Each structure stands twice: as structure tokens, then as C-alpha cells.
Structure 1
Amino acid sequence: MPVNYSVLMSVYYKEHPDYLRQSMQSIYDQTVPTDDFVLVCDGPLTPELDTVIADMQQQFGPRLNVCRLLKNGGLGKALNFGIGQCKNDLVARMDSDDVSRPDRCERQLAVFQNYPEYSLVSGIVEEFSDTITNVSVRRIVPEHQNDIIAFAKKRNPFNHPCIMYKKSDVEAAGGYQDFYLLEDYYLWIRMIQQGFIGYNLQEPLLWMRAGSDMYKRRGGWKYFLSQRKLLCYMYQSEFITYSQYLMGTFIRLGVAMAPNNFRSFVFNNILRRKMNKNSMGGGVTRYSQLNRLNPMWTWGVVCD
């Protein structure tokens, strides 16, 4: 497949060196390799992280472009800077602790080739702890634009860790903004409002590292205020109704202030599809099937 694409990753000092190495290796092992890997170091890193980057620089050669920011400015600012460094219009996002499936980018490139009108292509992620063989749940998102729009009024309609998008369209929508833990969700809403078309492959594309730290980040007063700010934007821009705004605010306040083990229960039993023997064997529940089985599932209680 002759289409070129860039990879965009940001890393900061708190990241685990082994996770970073595994994540970058999964990009190196893609069936369609990238010719442009942009790694943004968001502020000074630890010596251990710098060692991993030096090793990967030897492996990738000139394809790896390491950009170092003097200060840690947050994910939104780091990604906005990184987009400007990407050489290709198609950009695959990658987090520094997740693992892409080997054919992830090949599948997404095929969609863009067949449907050049699309601006965003993501898919299903499988959440794991410790190793990728220890997968417990999947985050399934809707496939087509109409369902994506409806879903976006309640929950994040794309899995950011495995999205591929057109750089030109992201920049036309204003790029990433500084929005605590919701930079991607805010961007998707603005792109939808401007008429850009998205699509979600109903196949697993990436293993996403989960655990108690992830649930902690989805709680607390600061996170709730960020959620409320996003809901205010959605209401004021007439993306949601006033009743949807009130319901969303009430539910998110309750979950944000709840104990961490309760949020873990919500994520793993309401907002995700549990893995079973059949699904572990390769069968994937599609969004349309899941919505039929449990209509309340679409009323997710956090902006995940």
C-alpha cells in the first residue's frame, strides 16, 4: 500500500520506559511502516526514557523525528506542536503506553483509500493490564456518521489512542485545545459541527493500557469541572439540548465524586464490553449489536 502516513506521539517524564519501548516497537512492526514518526518530548524526561528514545532512534533511523519542548505544557499543546511537524496529511495518533496491532495502520489506510471523503478513522480498543494477553474489556464505538453524532452527545465517539486523521482537517477545525483530559473529545465535536465525516472500524486496532490509575484520572473535582465546561460548550453551541446538559452534569458529578472502585465498576460493567471465551477467539460485538442488547449502554456516565 503506497500511501504515506505520519505517527504522532507525546511522552512526558512520568511515563514508564518499558511501556514507551513497547509502544514504539508496535509502530516499528506495522505491516505498512510509517516514513515519519514524530515524537514530542513534553518537557525534560528521565534518563531512562531518554535511553529508550536513543535506542529507538537507532532502530528507526531518520524516520524518527524527536522534538523536545523546554517545559511540560500538557497533551493538547504537545500534540498541536507535533502536528505541525508531521510531513504527511494522514496522521496516526499513538499514546506512549499503548500497543498497536501489527495491521492497525494498514486497515485504516485502506479505509481512507476507499473513502477519501472521511476525515477521521478509528476503531475498537481492547483494555489490558500487565500484558496484552490479559484483556478484560473492549471499548466499542459506533461505525457510521449518524450514530457517531448521536453517540457524541453523550460520550466520546472515537477511541483517540488508535485514531488516524487528516492533518489538514484537524487544523481547519482549530486543532487540539488546552482542555483538561478532554482535548480529543472537544476536537471531535468541533469537527463534527463543521461537517467533517468520521468512521469507526468494528475491529480491534489497539491494546490500551488500563488500571486503577486510569480510573483515578476520571474522577475528582478538577475532572468534573472540565466535563461541565465541555457540556456548557455543547449546549451553548446547540449540539445538545438543555435537558441533556442537565442530565449529563448531574450524572458526571456523581461519578466524579464517587470512590475509585465504583468508577472501575462503571467502566468495566457499563461503558465497556466484557470479554468472554467467544470474543477472545476473535468474534467482535459490533456497536449495533451492543446497542440492541443494552440500549442504556449508550448513556455512558463519563466522558471517556
Structure 2
Amino acid sequence: MSKISVLMSVYKKENPEYLRASLESILVQTRTADEILLIEDGPLTQELYQVVAEYQKKCDYLHVHAMEQNVQLGRALAKGVELCQYDLIARMDTDDIAMPDRLEKEGAYMEAHPEVDVVGGAIREFNDEGTIDRVKNMPKTQEAILEYVKVRNPLNHMTVMYRKDSILKAGNYKHFPFLEDYSLWSRMLSQGYQFRNMEDILVRARTSMGLVKRRSGWAYYKDFQKLRKQQHELGITNTFEYIKAQVGTFVVLMMPGWMKEYSYKRFLRKSE
């Protein structure tokens, strides 16, 4: 049976209770992780350090790597991929909750499909107020993912498991604020790496209107412009698809927050 590393990154603005719940969800998996690698992206708050220390006592396979200063997620994850001991790496966000059988299902899938480099799955979005409960599914096959990537991120990043060797050969994560994973998937798909998404809900993902608002506006669109240009240069999109994606991205990111939230509920998510 292949060994699994879980890769996480935390920085000072994160909620200590969310981190505690996230770590706990990894400790109670039906298939135990062989390593949890937590990147401390710069100095943390005392409360976050207390949670990390608490779980280091509970879990002898929790390894911590402290960055001297905040380098942001892309660089932190790139370092984490390099440091992970095992070839199968499961990404996990420090404010989300893994379903109990997540590692068991993904580990078994990757062992049964050695041709697959990256696998993800569905998420169930929720918020602290209890007013959101909806599922975000993703395209399943390589062909569907190759079409989907032209307009939207084809994987729920917090659900993915990938092969370390494949990530490193493809160039690893790069500094690309809010789009680190989308950029990496685009590069990998253009090089022929194999992607899949499982039907299963693998993670309960915390969301809020604040997140929607942060991922909106002109500054975020400028970053997306760079991504769309990268995709076109990689040959993922032809000229018509490139222009269509640029226009579509502009429209979505410039929507008022309430309209974007309505669109998510009506068209992009399945409420349950």
C-alpha cells in the first residue's frame, strides 16, 4: 500500500478553531496518513502556535516547516511538495474538514489507476451560520476536464491527491495569487498529465460572502488576465476560446456580490 503525505499551509490571519477542526479531520481518517506536513507561512499568532503544539503532541507524524517570512500560498506549497516524504500527496486547506474516508478513497483510486497523476472530487460547501449547504461537483473525465479548464478551474483544490513526481516534473506550484492551483493544472494538462474527478464528496469546504468579494474586482481580474494569456500560450485555448474566456471572466468578476452569489446558487452549485 502506497504511503500518503497530507500537505497543509497556515498563515497568521487564519482561525485557530478552524485549524483545529481541519487537523482533527485528518487524524480520524479511516486510512491513516503517513505524514502530515504543515507549512507555517511566516510567523503565526500565539493562538495558532498553541493549536500546532497541541497536535504535535497528539500526532507524531505531524511535521512542521516554518518559513521565516510570509511567502504566500504558491511558494509555500511549492516548498511543501519538495519536503513531503511520500509520492502520494493529499492537499488540505486549514479551514476545511475532510470527510472521514477521503484518504482511503483517493489512495485506493490512485493505486488502482497508476496512469492518473491528479485526482479530485466534490465538496460540500457550508458556513458557520448554517445558511449554506450545497455541493460543488466537477467534470470527471480527462476530455471533460480539458474543456472545462478553458473557462473555469477543473478541480476543487482542497480535495486533490497527486503524485509528487508528476508535480515536480511539471514545474511545481508558482507564485500566482488566488490562482496557484489553476495555473498548475493548466500547465500540467497542456503537457498531457492525466486528471480525474471522483463522484464522491471528499471535503466539507468552509465558504462565505467575504470569500466571494475577495475574489472579485479589477485586481483579481488582472491576475485572471495573466492566467488566460498563459493558457492561450500553452495551446489550451484557440484565439476564439481565449477571447471568450477573457470576456466571460470579466463579466463574472465585475458582477455585484449579490449577483455572483445568486449565480453560484442557481447555476454552479447544487443545494441540498
Q: Same fold (TM over 0.5)?
A: yes
Q: Could you tell me how far apart the structure 2 residues matched to 1:151 and 1:145 are?
A: 10
For 2:17 and 2:170, the matched residues in 1 are separated by 35
Alignment match, 2:99: 101
- Match status 1:156 vs 2:153: yes
CA contact (8 A) 2:139 2:197 kept: yes
Measured in 2, the distance between the counterparts of 1:203 and 1:141 equals 10
What displacement does 1:64 show?
A: 0.7
Instruction: Identify which range, 255-264 or 211-220, moves more after superposition.
Output: 255-264
Write the deviation string for residues 272-297 of structure 1: whole angstroms up to 9, x where unpaired.
Answer: 1222xxxxxxxxxxxxxxxxxxxxxx
Local SS of the residue matching 2:2: coil
Structure 1 distance, partners of 2:195, 2:248, is: 27
Q: Which residue of 2 aligns with 1:22?
A: 21
Paired with 2:133 and 2:266, the residues of 1 have a C-alpha distance of 11
Aligned to 2:230: 233
SS in 1 for 2:56: helix
In the alignment, which residue of structure 2 is the partner of 1:66?
A: 64
Q: 3-state DSSP class of the match of 1:181?
A: coil
Q: Secondary structure at the match of 1:118?
A: coil
Give distance in 2, aligned partners of 1:18 and 1:211: 16
The equivalent residue for 1:243 is: 240
1:115 is aligned to 2:113: yes
Partner of 1:139: 136
What's the % identity of the aligned pairs? 38
Q: Measure the CA separation in 1 of the matches of 2:63 and 2:91.
A: 15
Amino acid at match of 2:4: Y
User: What's the counterpart of residue 286 of structure 1?
Assistant: none
- 1:135 deviates by 4.9
Instruction: Give the secondary-structure state (helix, strand or coil) at the position aligned to 1:205.
Output: strand
Q: Partner residue of 2:194? A: 197
Letter in 1 for 2:191: Q
Cα deviation 1:167-190 (Å, max 9, x = unaligned): 000000000011120110110111
> Distance between the aligned counterparts of 1:252 and 1:193, measured in 2?
21
TM-fit CA distance, 1:253: 1.6
Task: Give per-residue Cα distances to partners, 1:83-131, cap 9 Å, x unaligned.
Answer: 1110000000000000000000100011111111110011001100017
Query: Does the 8 Å contact 1:126/1:135 carry over to 2?
Result: no
Match of 1:258 in 2: 255
Correspondence for 2:124: 126
Contact 1:94 1:162 in 2 (8 A): yes
On the 8 A contact 1:38/1:67 being kept in 2, the answer is yes
Residue 118 of structure 1 aligns with an amino acid whose one-letter code is V
- The CA RMSD measured in Å over matched residues stands at 1.2
- Stretches of 4+ moved more than 4 A in 1? none
Q: Which runs of 5+ in 1 are unaligned?
A: 276-304
Q: Which amino acid aligns with 1:179?
A: F
Q: What whole-Å deviation, never above 9, does each CA across 1:37-96 have from its counterpart, x for those lacking one?
A: 1000001100000000000101112x0111111111110000011111100000000000
Q: Note the residue ranges of structure 2 that are not aligned, 5 or more in a row.
A: none
